[in-house]
Amino acid sequence: MKMDDPHGKRMPGGVVTLAHGGGGSAMRKLIENVLLPAFNNPLLAALEDQATVPLAELLVHGDRLAFTTDSYVVTPMSFPGGDIGKLAVCGTVNDLAVSGARPLYLSCGLVIEEGLEMAHLAMIVESIAHAARLAGVSVVTGDTKVVERGAADKLFINTAGIGVIPAGIQISASRAQPGDAVIVSGSLGDHGIAILLARNELALDAAVMSDCQPLHGLVAVMLGACQDIHCLRDATRGGVATVLNEFATSSRVGIRLREAALPVNETVRGACEILGLDPLYLANEGKLVAVVPATHADAVLAAMRAHPAGLEAAIVGEITAESAGNVILSTAFGGYRVVDMLVGEQLPRIC
């Protein structure tokens, strides 16, 4: 079977078999026909056991390496606004970006369940390559394993990433100070609700796109407005609430949030109402939380709003000396409550 990928290329047919992970000719063919043309760069094309990166090229960008890894498992593999491939690139790029680093190189490990259609694999690989091109990073090394049917859920991806942090940037979860402003880059929970809807379990008819996107460009303009950003983290699993609890604990400060200021897309809000979920805890894949000195908050916010990834950015609260270690939400209704770390995953309520 052949199918077209969204970027207009003809896809190969057949399914992935154990032979494609066996190290022999089938695997060589998979690498040469699917992976190399998609990732298309000289470091990978050398087909050595490692990518060899000249240090001089790194030193141009700064004085410290940022190095991170993450694994991606998601059902379904494609969803409105993205797929597992785009997710694997954006997630790792964002983990680098929130240190202030310029993301440069990625590795890509594929764990494929036997029987996955070759065309589907090629489509995901093309999506990885496309997302990497947009983020300005190269996939320079990788690994492919094929496991027996039932041993994995179609495809798992691991990406590791290397970036370089410019001299003078010191971003850390432990640097929040009383008086600092808390900024989020856009609407909360779009990815979490998009995935729930894409699973078709909710019988809800609503259009929500995942916010899956790289954030290094946004971080660059934020640093342009204020080099002294104190804390920065992308709000993935566990959502904004989890990130803020991590800041409060690491910096030993309190955080006061204003519910009325939190940007939440109307459809996401509606779905949360029906399901008894809290958007503060829903996953995002293209949103960040920043803590910046109050004196620079307006400049950072203006810079963010001028960038496509930060159009809906908002100041949502401030760091306080009181209630150290706690995140307190002033509700839009006039009361307040503690926004705690989530225990396990959010489960819909019975009624």
Partner 1 sequence: MQYADEFRDPAKARTLVEEISKLAALLAKARGRPLQVMEVCGGHTHTIFRYGLKAMLPEALEFVHGPGCPVCVLPMGRVDDCVALACNPKIIFTTFGDAMRVPGSKGSLLQAKAEGADVRMVYSPLDALKLARENPTREVVFFALGFETTMPSTALTVLQARREGIRNFSLFCNHITIIPTIKAILDSPELTLDGFLGPGHVSMVIGNRPYDFIAERYHRPIVVAGFEPLDILQSLWMLLKQMKEGRCEVENQYKRIVPEAGNAQALAAVAEVFELREFFEWRGLGSIDHSGVRMRAAFADYDAERKFGVPGLSIADPKSCQCGEVLKGVIKPHQCKVFGTSCTPERPLGALMVSSEGACAAYYRFGRIAIKPVETETVAS
Site residues, partner 1 (CB under 8 A): 201-203, 245, 248-249, 252, 266, 269-270, 273, 275-276, 323-326, 328-338, 340-341, 343-344, 347-351
- Distance of alpha carbon 46 from alpha carbon 8, whole angstroms: 27
Judged by CB, which is closer to partner 1: 12, or 178? Answer: 178
Smallest distance, partner 1 to C-beta of residue 347, A: 3
CB closer to partner 1 out of 66 and 241: 241
Is the Cβ of residue 65 or residue 324 nearer to partner 1 in the bound state?
A: 324
- DSSP lists the bridge partners of residue 108 as 142, 159
Which of residues 49 and 273 has its CB atom nearest to partner 1 in the complex?
Answer: 273
Pair of tokens at residue 344: 């396990």
Q: Least distance from C-beta 132 to partner 1, angstroms?
A: 35
Minimum distance from residue 188 beta carbon to partner 1 (Å): 15
Nearer to partner 1, 272 or 300 (CB): 272
The residue (of 150 and 344) whose beta carbon lies closer to partner 1 is 344
Token readout for 332 is 């839009």
Q: Find the shortest distance in angstroms from Cβ 97 to partner 1.
A: 26
How many angstroms separate the CA atoms of 321 and 184, rounded? 21
Our CB check for partner 1 shows the closer of 78 and 249 to be 249
Number of C-beta neighbours around residue 288 at 10 A: 27
Least distance (Å) between residue 182 CB and partner 1 = 18
Q: Which two tokens stand for residue 123?
A: 């489509």
> Which alpha helices (H) appear in the chain, and where do they start and end?
25-30, 36-39, 42-45, 55-59, 84-97, 118-135, 190-198, 216-225, 239-251, 266-275, 294-305
Which C-beta is closer to partner 1: that of 26 or that of 328? Answer: 328
Least Å distance, CB 263 to partner 1, is 14
Q: Smallest distance from the beta carbon of 325 to partner 1, in angstroms?
A: 3
The 10 Å Cβ neighbour count of residue 116 is 21
Q: Helix 216-225 crosses helix 84-97 at what angle (to 10 degrees)?
A: 20
CB atoms within 10 A of CB 349: 8
As measured in angstroms, the least distance from the Cβ of 324 to partner 1 is: 5
Residue 295 three-state SS:
helix
Contact between residue 281 and residue 268 where contact means Cβ atoms under 8 Å apart: no
- Dist CA 297 CA 302 (whole Å): 9
